Structure 1
Amino acid sequence: MTTPHLPKVAGINPPLPAPSHTPPPSSAAPSGDPATPDPSAPADPHGPADPDGLALPAPNALVQDRLAGWISDLVTLQELTERLARTASLDAALHEVLRAGSSLVGARRGLVTLQPGQERPTTVGLGLGRADLGHIETIPHDTPARREGHEFPGPDSYGRLFDDLPPAGSRAGVAHPDIAADEGLTARHRDVAARLGYGASYALPLESEAAGRIGAAVWLYDEPAEPSGRQRHLIGLYRDYATEHLARHLELAAARDAVTTLREELLPSRLPRIAGVRLAVRHRSGPLGGGDWYDALPLPEGALGLAVGGVTGSGPSAVAAMGRLRASLRAYAVMEGEDPVAVLSDLELLLRLTEPARAATALFAYCEPAGADRTAGRGSKVVLAGAGHCPPLIIGEHRVEYVETSLSAPLGMLACWEAPSVEIEPAPGETLLFYSDGLLHRTGDTMDRAFARLRSAAASVPRAALRDPDAIVEHVLRTMLPSADDDDADEAADGSHGGEDVVLLAAHFE
């Protein structure tokens, strides 16, 4: 009897039909043959046994085990890459790479270095203190293991651990499974390994096709060992993603450094010395590169011009606009500094004509210290005007209060700006404190509470420090922002006010 043919489907081979009859039973084996199955014996779930009596796994069990291993590896890589993607700073990303790599290769300690060809490479250690890193720095180059074009392009420091890495373009790692017995390494290298207590190492270049080679990582084993082929494959896949992530952090850090350098160059390099007044300033740059600025310039007849302000926006364009605005204000202050309203009116007209899409806040004060006044018996005098900027604060032994200024709109918001000026006479020993609104915003409080907090911080200045403007601004800054020197990249990334600039400018009148 023939089996009917199934119809063919284009592109698909027809399945094999089920047999119409059972195959004939095999001939019976002689009695006592070990290969003869016992019909009464239960079926072995692990499949048939080999001649030695050991159970052999079924073919599908091997496939299932392999698939389970692949799935486990994929889940592990996904978890590690997700943790790396959540890091918001370069330092956090480097530590995460070391932790993830140590778990993948089975090591306990390690270090990673970035931009080794730069003047100041970035190096982070895992399970290694500063003293340990100092010992590693003393390892001389392993010249016997170096080959031309194969050495790691690093400085004479941590790059010594990566001498025998392959050249650029090859992302293979290098293992030293037994450092104590490796005659290709220098004696100093073996001595440092013995002192620090590691017996093997595995080095891997941080390289990808898009980013190129940006650094290298090495993991240290407590005992002689080396990663298996599966571990090398997993750490290689993780390395490809980590390199791209670290490269983005490096680009972002370089851009921030460029903006910070530009902003610092546009601000005064030093404060002037004017008889009868002493100055102090604190400037904390935000990671986003804001446009807050300050200025102090000597004027004719011993007078002094003080200014603080800021432009809208962030980044290089805001910094450039800040530089143009500050330079223009200096010119107007020299020409008509005795009238702060005229200075800000001219500045507003310039801003409206040249940069109509921007707005800015500014406060300018024309100061005549007592040492500059030739009229006997007259103290210091300050005439100031503000455009949408926070009022300055008077700090002294007998009073701590805000200067009463008229409410005015920022520059560029109205067709024609003009507001009355205010004249004050600070007593000898009092300090006039100017500040940017970034100081208030970084507290995270509402504006009313932030103003009250600033006044309380100024009132808490120790009595002995009231005649030192540098001590005053330092005390106010530390009281308002206890973590002012911490990295604010995490706060800036989520859109909070943590990335704004902070300016504190104090003028102490004698």
Structure 2
Amino acid sequence: MNAPHPPKVAGIDPTVPTPTHTVAPAPPAQEAGPAPDAPAGTPPPAAAPDAPGSLLQDRLAGWVSDLTTLHELTERMCGTSVLQAALEELLRAGAALVGARRGLVALEPGDGLGPRTTVGHGLGRADLGHLETVPREALLTSTADLLAEPGLDPRHREVAARLGYSAGYALPLATDNARLGTAVWLYDEPAAPDEHHRHLIGLYLRQAAEHLALLLEVERTRAYAATLTGELLPSRLPRLPGVQLAVRHRTGPRGGGDWYDALPLPDAALGLSVGSVTGSGPGAVAAMGRLRASLRAYAVMEGEDPVAVLSDLELLLRLTEPARSATALFAYCEPAARRITLAGAGHSPPLLIGERRTEYVETSLSAPLGMLACWEAPSVEFRVEREETVLLYTDGLLRRTGEAMDRAFARLHSAAASVPRALRGDPGAVADHVLATLLPGDTARGDEDVVLLAARFD
């Protein structure tokens, strides 16, 4: 039997049935018989309708409807994997449960470690800006009728009139062990959720807060990994006559071991390197930092011989990181002559982007560092035309496409060839165009680091 439609509460659109309560079981009905004074043969009177049984069925149906709604909303929340998306889902679900059109959540972890952010639902950027000017304790408080509130903060009254809301319903976001913040939903007219809807939103927030606490830890871990990786990579690229440099780096969610470097060398030369250490997490990041620092030292001593640089790096890797392997590419550039000598160890070839050609540089096949007892591969020398760009990258750029490697290489070539002529004079714009074309928006798959190092020769 269907549950009865709940009555409309002021300002509330009841999307969930009203609460029901258990009813004490009725005593068993006695079998009906003819009245004592009825003449013989008179049929017994008709039994009264089973009203208690009907009411119980309606209430059971209401409970089932409530549980189904909460299950669906909780499933949608658990399907989020990013903190921002989870907060937006919480506001949408809460708005449906309490019948509000707008709302906001202020994430303010009680441990003070952040991140602190405010996310709105049905509110524009300017609206959130106005709400940020209201004192927190006034904004994040339940108020059934703002105009009738005697001690209402004047700024709160002014912002409420500007945005057109008249009531708010606030609830804390907290687990058993941590306070996460506060959520508040705003009504266009004086209103408040009834007891039933308050009970449902309380149950939902209890489960949602646990999921938010997990995503908060993931977000912090990602931020720590990105910060650590950033500290181990160059804070800025060098400026040398005859060459312009730009880099784009995306850190994976678990923190990977991809690196890049650009190092001025004697005789007005320039050393460029990209590489990747196997694994992810803090261990891979630390190994990446050690290898990059060592490669810089080897480049200063013998940078004109890229094979010797990578050979020394391979020996160091086998002695200090025997359980790891790494791919690497080192290029010794002479900007005045536009000549490049490079060697690669299991790394993808550079891509030349120019007015008359877009092609991969042919490099010899070689194993990654740490895979063989002794690494060795011949170097390759080539010249760059004036106003051409050399694009060095890590394999994460190809893997994030989700394509097979041959298909990913073809897509990268197509993205580089499609760089508009107006952008080719800026290596940063070239790298941005390649990234946007190859990994548009949030469609990129995978969690590998991505590095693009672009060098344009004048």
TM tier relative to shorter chain: 0.7 to 0.9
1:356 counterpart SS class: coil
Query: What is the alpha-carbon distance in structure 1 between the residues aligned to residue 205 and residue 417 of structure 2?
Result: 54
Is residue 200 from structure 1 mapped to residue 167 from structure 2 by the alignment? yes
**Aligned-pair distance for 1:218?**
0.8
Task: Determine which of 105, 109, 112 is the counterpart of 2:102.
Answer: 109
Is residue 121 from structure 1 mapped to residue 116 from structure 2 by the alignment? yes
Aligned twin of 1:505: 453
Is residue 383 from structure 1 mapped to residue 341 from structure 2 by the alignment? yes
Is residue 72 from structure 1 mapped to residue 71 from structure 2 by the alignment? no
**Aligned-pair distance for 1:289?**
1.7
Task: Determine which of 47, 50, 54 is the counterpart of 1:43.
Answer: 47
**Aligned-pair distance for 1:64?**
4.1
Aligned twin of 2:17: none
Task: Determine which of 238, 248, 270 is the counterpart of 1:282.
Answer: 248
State the one-letter code of the partner of 2:188. Answer: D
Query: What is the alpha-carbon distance in structure 2 between the residues aligned to residue 124 and residue 75 of structure 1?
Result: 27
State the one-letter code of the partner of 1:95. Answer: E
Aligned twin of 2:277: 311
Q: Do 2:32 and 2:45's aligned partners in 1 also have CA atoms closer than 8 Å? A: no
Aligned twin of 2:139: 161
Task: Determine which of 239, 262, 284 is the counterpart of 2:228.
Answer: 262
**Aligned-pair distance for 1:309?**
0.7
Aligned twin of 1:134: 129
Aligned twin of 2:185: 219
Structure 1 segment 71-470 matched on structure 2, within 5 A:
71-115=64-108, 121-139=116-134, 141=135, 158-162=136-140, 175-210=142-177, 212-370=178-336, 379-470=337-428
State the one-letter code of the partner of 1:448. Answer: D
**Aligned-pair distance for 1:118?**
6.5
Larger radius of gyration: 1
1:472 counterpart SS class: helix
- The superposition leaves residues 316-343 of structure 1 with CA deviations (integer Å, 9 ceiling, x where unpaired) of 2211111111011111111111111111
Q: Which runs of 5+ in 1 are unaligned?
A: 1-17, 30-37, 47-56, 142-157, 165-174, 371-378
Query: What is the alpha-carbon distance in structure 1 between the residues aligned to residue 31 and residue 405 of structure 2?
Result: 89
State the one-letter code of the partner of 1:470. Answer: G
State the one-letter code of the partner of 2:49. Answer: P
State the one-letter code of the partner of 2:435. Answer: L
Change (3 A) 1:234 1:504: same
How many residues get paired? 425
- The superposition leaves residues 211-247 of structure 1 with CA deviations (integer Å, 9 ceiling, x where unpaired) of x211001112222222222222221111111111111
**Aligned-pair distance for 1:272?**
1.1
1:131 counterpart SS class: helix
Change (3 A) 1:421 1:188: closer
Change (3 A) 1:330 1:40: same
Query: What is the alpha-carbon distance in structure 2 between the residues aligned to residue 70 and residue 218 of structure 1?
Result: 26
Is residue 479 from structure 1 mapped to residue 408 from structure 2 by the alignment? no
Change (3 A) 1:420 1:122: same
- The superposition leaves residues 411-430 of structure 1 with CA deviations (integer Å, 9 ceiling, x where unpaired) of 11111100011111223333
Query: What is the alpha-carbon distance in structure 2 between the residues aligned to residue 181 and residue 293 of structure 1?
Result: 61
Change (3 A) 1:119 1:288: closer
Change (3 A) 1:399 1:190: closer
Q: Which moved more, 1:259-268 or 1:272-281?
A: 272-281
Q: Do 2:232 and 2:289's aligned partners in 1 also have CA atoms closer than 8 Å? A: yes
**Aligned-pair distance for 1:470?**
2.8
Query: What is the alpha-carbon distance in structure 2 between the residues aligned to residue 28 and residue 387 of structure 1?
Result: 109
Query: What is the alpha-carbon distance in structure 2 between the residues aligned to residue 405 and residue 328 of structure 1?
Result: 24
Query: What is the alpha-carbon distance in structure 2 between the residues aligned to residue 296 and residue 219 of structure 1?
Result: 51
Aligned twin of 1:52: none
1:176 counterpart SS class: coil
1:386 counterpart SS class: strand
**Aligned-pair distance for 1:128?**
1.7
Change (3 A) 1:24 1:66: closer
Query: What is the alpha-carbon distance in structure 1 between the residues aligned to residue 249 and residue 31 of structure 2?
Result: 91
Percent of paired sites with the same residue: 68
After TM superposition, the score normalised by the length of structure 1 is: 0.77
What is the root-mean-square deviation in Å for CA atoms of aligned residues? 2.7
- The superposition leaves residues 235-282 of structure 1 with CA deviations (integer Å, 9 ceiling, x where unpaired) of 111111111111111111011001001111111111112233222222
Query: What is the alpha-carbon distance in structure 1 between the residues aligned to residue 84 and residue 228 of structure 2?
Result: 24
Q: Which runs of 5+ in 2 are unaligned?
A: 1-27
State the one-letter code of the partner of 1:293. Answer: W
Query: What is the alpha-carbon distance in structure 1 between the residues aligned to residue 389 and residue 186 of structure 2?
Result: 57
State the one-letter code of the partner of 2:260. Answer: Y
Query: What is the alpha-carbon distance in structure 2 between the residues aligned to residue 199 and residue 28 of structure 1?
Result: 67
**Aligned-pair distance for 1:23?**
12
